[in-house]
Amino acid sequence: MSEGIVFHTLAALAYAALALLVWRPLRHGRIPTNTSAAAKSCLLGALVLHGVALYQAVLPATGLYLGWALALSAAIWLGMLIFWLESLVLSLNGLLLILLPGSALVSALAALFPTGHLVAHAHNELLRLHLLIALMAYGLVTVAALQSILMAALDRYLHRPAEQSQHAPWFTHALDVMPPLLVQERLLFRLIWISFIALTLTLITGSLVSLNLAGPVFPVDHKTIFTLLSWLTFAVLLTGRYVRGWRGRLALRWTLTGFAFVLLAYTGSRFVIDVILQRG
């Protein structure tokens, strides 16, 4: 576990250093320049450190180890990896203003709270596949939620530019480098579609794992219930988008609601058990 703590700390420092480089021009009223190939390589390096940290912490020799902070860290890592791949095609530099500090914070939390529990039946290949898909779904939804927050801030700025410029001029400079709202909306719904597919596979593989272990098709536990609620939320959102053309603030509210259910599905409950109740 100690190696996981060290690499999570290094990843947090790497993300924080990159965040400072991105945010520093805004303190002087300058617009950050486009992310260079060198900066993207540095971000990839931070992702490698983060990936090694997760491998050391989650896959010890004794089996499969998970806790609330490690699950959140894995979700953020997968989300950042997907963002990095998207950035090779689209100009998404402005999103780093919030993604980098968020990644640094989550990596630091994983280093500070490395406790968790060994997952039962960890050698079951179907269970490992289920956990991988679930973490991928959580990562996608997390990035979608962060982007929703950014889009809400940008929408507010576009409707009240004078008020935002007066109270937080540095924040208006940050919003100036964000991708256009329509581009962000297309990317958001692309993420939501992929997240919905991943959540669907999570529910299917979870049912197969339960049956494989001689359990019910849908275990009545908090993880299944909240994951199902998240799936239903995104199903309604995508249906509303297709049938009624939902967009803007309505779509953002549904996205954040789905994220809240995903957060409660595992990370929130484990936080209560591991930290507040102090029992693994």
pLDDT digits (tens, 9 = 90+) for 31-63: 555 556 777 888 899 999 999 998 888 877 666
Give which of 192, 180, 183, 188 is closest to 149, Cα–Cα.
188
Beta bridge partners of 96: none
Backbone angles phi, psi at 246, to 5 degrees: -55, 140
What is the span of the domain harbouring residue 154? 2-276
Beta bridge partners of 258: none
Give which of 43, 55, 37 is closest to 16, Cα–Cα.
43
For the chain, helix (H) and strand (E) counts, in that order, are 11, 2
Using one digit for the tens of pLDDT, what is the confidence trace for 180-209?
777 778 888 888 998 899 999 999 988 888
Count of the separate structural domains present in the chain:
1
pTM for this entry: 0.74
Place of tokens 């909306």: 185
Q: Please state, rounded to an integer, the average pLDDT across all residues of the chain.
A: 78
What's the pLDDT at 221? 74
Hey, is 221 helix, strand or coil?
Answer: coil
Beta bridge partners of 118: 65
